Chain A
Amino acid sequence: MNRVLRSAVFFLLIALLWQGIAMSERLSSYLLPSPLSVVRYLYGAVVDLSLFAAAWVTLKRLVLGYAIGLLFGLPLGLLTAEFRLCRDTIGLLALGLQTLPSICWVPLALLWFGQTESAMLFVVIMGSLWSVLIATQTGVQTMPPIYVRAARTMGSKGLHTWLKVILPASLPFLVSGMKQGWAFAWRSLMAAEIYVTILTGFGLGQLLHYGRELHAMDQVIGVMLVIVLIGLLADRLFFSPWERFLYRRWGATG
């Protein structure tokens, strides 16, 4: 309770300071809108549903692209961990592409797919795929081989060993890789949405972009807050439970 109170007081102080600076009118409201006007914008955007519509478009791109990234990244990571041939080919490719900031894919995506949903998806997939792949590979390769031997003496083989031993044994790496993949996907999607007008859907990034074009700083800051909120929620809903599980089961190393 004490900690909640402390945080609440801290953020309240920031809001008060912000309101104070805004009211002193040193900066024009076009540069620094007051917190109240941001709240007013958020209220309006919630009531006319424009905020939900934009968040829906963005999340759809993000979740779909991320799911495809996982769908390919996990099995490819298993393959590169298991077969030297895959490691020397796909593994090397992944290692190289992972270092590429995923926003760098945007120009190429636009050339290939035009201003479409596919371009957005492509950027998100490229953002998540490689780090998921590499985390899977690392997880499987650093797993103590004794686990597989022990499982074999108990009658486990083939697919059962993969699903019940190798995958769970690499879980600490998988979760951190998936989290990193998610962060990369989220950042690159935001960058792409701000950078590119997509005709088929109007996401949060575009809302931010038009806020600037219209000199509506209350909208810009309001949308930024929503983006922070979505990031926090995703962390709490998807990743924290896994991390708590890892910590409980593995102890401090998880």
Chain B
Amino acid sequence: MTTRLQEELTNVPPVKLSVQGVSKSFRVKGACVQALRNVTIRVDEGEYVCLVGKSGCGKSTLLNLIAALDRPDAGEILVDGSPVTQPGRDRMVMFQETALFPWLDVLGNVLFGLKLKPNLTKKDRLEVASFYLDMVGLKSFTHANIHELSGGMKQRVALARALAPNPRVLLMDEPFGALDALTREKLYVDIQNIWLKRRKTILFVTHNVREAVCLGDRVILMAPEPGRVIEEFDIDLERPRDINSVALAEHATRITRVLKERPREQEVDE
């Protein structure tokens, strides 16, 4: 563990998000399912961290806790050193399923969060919304209805909606899970560009190791029953990264090997 030493020697960025010893269980038909047990994670300011693990290891649960949509049974979640108590615009979520509002058009969806943000005039809000729609490449679909968009476009709108209130932390729960490979690869490029431009702190959930290596500064492996952190990897590849590059594949293989050594976690995609 050299990170301790590095912290002592260099001017490290401040901790943005800190999950300390968090546990959470659910009662399902009388039985108790421990979704998370004693999970500790820290994410630095401007860092892109990927959570990887097979389905059911508590990734969504953890994101919901950080978003304060749910409360932990034990432990603490700190943003900028203060505990989170309720949902806030400083932590925006991009959900696994499409959570866009079908009764609003594309612009209406992006404006939804902005309208709840105080101190913005109507003109400001429209400008901000079209700035982000432009960023995700959907300027010409401003007034399209949600059902008219492809899966990839929907997730782009969801990204614009999450970015629009200018959160410092972006929580993304398998946002590309339902997309085809080509659409996904295009989004990997775009999300990296956006991240380089806006420097958000991102916690990104996926069950795809390559995806995690492509996007993350750091990859955290989780295991189920009970949900817990088992290992962490630093990914020190140049950006922007190409999902098909050899160096990236080597990292992915290294991580997959660690997973394979654990008999329970074999079902994770390579």
A152 and B69 contacting across the interface, CB-CB below 8 Å: yes
Listed by A's residue number, 27 A-B pairs whose Cβ atoms lie within 8 Å are A146-B95, A146-B97, A147-B101, A149-B69, A149-B93, A150-B101, A152-B87, A153-B67, A153-B69, A153-B91, A153-B93, A154-B89, A154-B92, A154-B116, A154-B165, A155-B87, A155-B89, A155-B113, A155-B117, A156-B116, A160-B116, A169-B102, A169-B103, A249-B147, A250-B103, A250-B147, A251-B147
Docked pose: A154 CA to B100 CA in angstroms: 12
A254 to B102, CA, bound (A): 10
Interface status of A6 (Cβ within 8 A of chain B):
no
In the docked arrangement, what's the CA distance between A149 and B173, Å?
13
A155 / chain B contacts, CB cutoff of 8 Å:
87-89, 113, 116-117, 165
Known: A154-B112, A169-B103. A249 touches B87 (CB 8 A): no
B208 at the interface (CB under 8 A from A): no
| Interface assignment of B166: CB less than 8 Å from any CB of chain A | no
Known: A154-B113, A155-B113. Contact between A147 and B99, CB under 8 A? yes
In chain A, residues 168-184, which have Cβ atoms closer than 8 Å to a Cβ of chain B?
168-169, 171
Q: Are A249 and B99 touching (Cβ within 8 A)?
A: no
Interface residue ranges, B against A (CB under 8 Å): 64, 67, 69, 87-89, 91-93, 95, 97, 99, 101-105, 112-113, 116-117, 145-148, 161, 165
- How would residues 69 to 106 of chain A score, 1 for a CB under 8 Å from any chain B CB and 0 otherwise? 00000000000000000000000000000000000000
Q: A153-B69, A153-B87 are in contact. Are A171 and B113 (CB under 8 A)?
A: no
Q: Across the interface, do B148 and A165 meet the contact criterion of CB distance under 8 Å?
A: no
Nearest-Cβ distance from residue B35 to partner chain A, whole angstroms: 16
Specify which of A150, A156, A249 is in contact with B95 (CB 8 Å cutoff): A150
Collect the chain A residues with CB atoms within 8 Å of residue B102's CB.
169, 249-251
Closest to B98 in A: A146
A144–B67 alpha-carbon span in the complex (Å): 19
- Would you give the shortest CB distance from B28 to chain A, in whole angstroms? 17
Q: Does the CB pair A168–B101 fall under 8 Å?
A: yes
Most buried by A among B97, B103, B147: B103
Assess whether A224 is interfacial by the CB under 8 Å rule.
Answer: no
Contact of A249 among B69, B91, B92, B145 (CB under 8 A): B145
A171: B residues at CB distance < 8 A: 103
A146 to B116 Cα, complex, angstroms: 18
Known: A249-B145, A250-B147, A251-B145. A169 touches B91 (CB 8 A): no
A249 to B105, CA, bound (A): 7
The yes or no answer to A248 lying at the interface (CB within 8 A) is: yes
Q: Give every chain B residue within 8 A of A164 (Cβ-Cβ).
A: 112
- Count: A-B pairs, CB below 8 Å: 65
CA distance A157 to B103 in the complex (A): 18
Within 8 A of B (CB), among A197-222: none
Quick one: given A150-B93, A152-B87, A154-B116, are A248 and B145 in contact (CB under 8 Å)? yes
Q: In the docked arrangement, what's the CA distance between A169 and B101, Å? A: 8
Residues of A within 8 A of B87 (CB): 152-153, 155
Interface centre among A147, A155, A165 (most CB of B within 10 A): A155
Q: Using a CB-CB cutoff of 8 Å, which residues 123-155 of chain A contact chain B?
A: 144, 146-147, 149-155
The distance from the CB of B218 to the nearest CB of chain A, in whole angstroms, is 24
Taking the nearest CB of chain A, how far is it from the CB of B217, in angstroms? 24
A251 to B100, CA, bound (A): 14
Whole-angstrom distance between the Cβ of B129 and the nearest chain A Cβ? 13
9 additional contacts, CB 8 Å, given A150-B99, A155-B89?
A: A146-B95, A154-B161, A155-B87, A155-B113, A160-B116, A169-B103, A249-B146, A251-B145, A251-B148
A153 to B67, CA, bound (A): 7
Whole-angstrom CA separation of A207 from B72 in the bound complex: 69
Give Cα A219–Cα B147 distance, bound, in whole angstroms.
Answer: 50
Min Cβ gap A96→B in Å is 31
Q: How far, in angstroms, from A238 to B165 measured CA to CA in the complex?
A: 37
With the chains together, A228 CA to B128 CA distance in Å?
51
What's the minimum C-beta distance from A252 to chain B, rounded to whole angstroms? 8
Q: Which of A151, A160, A249, A250 has the most CB of B within 10 A?
A: A249
Distance to closest chain B CB from A143 (angstroms): 11
Chain B positions within 8 Å of A160 at CB level: 116
Chain A residue numbers with a CB within 8 Å of B93 are 149-150, 153
Q: Cα distance A43–B89 when bound, in Å?
A: 65
In angstroms, how far is the closest chain B Cβ from the Cβ of A158? 12
A150 contacts across to B, CB distance below 8 A: 93, 95, 99, 101
